[in-house]
Amino acid sequence: MGEPTTSTSDSELSVNLWALHERLVAQTAVDYDVHLSKMTRYLRSPLMPLNTNPLEWWKTQKNTYPKLSKAANVYLSTVATSVPADRLFFKAGQTITDRRNRISAKKLNKILFMQSIDKVYWQNI
């Protein structure tokens, strides 16, 4: 038995690669145009009333603007309060007392981390 022969020469393979490349470029251009037209359509759409919940609005627009909806969900669902930072600052104030005033920042960070772990995890040790 001899080695398998291929019917495609190097020049044919090269032409096929360039043809594939051109198809991919054309597809990318089409995708770009589709996304651009969706963005333009969104920017031209009427504004929602101020009392509308933006997360709910984007949920209803999920099929119309799938990629924009996903991005909106990421950026609109961030915590908009300082409660976690205030809570951490309060805990740090409780940890550093008059008797424990020489704790390094590194050690304080470790203590605060250990205090933040839920008691359920401590019981499993």
Q: Find, among 86, 87, 55, the residue nearest to 69 by Cα.
A: 55
Contact 62, 55 (CB under 8 A): no
Render pLDDT for 19-65 as a digit per residue (tens, 0 to 9): 887 887 777 766 666 667 888 888 888 888 889 999 999 999 999 88
Of 42-56, 64-78, 83-97, give the lowest mean pLDDT range. Answer: 83-97
Question: How large is the angle between the packed helices 10-44 and 66-76, nearest 10 degrees?
Answer: 60
Q: What is the pTM of this model?
A: 0.40
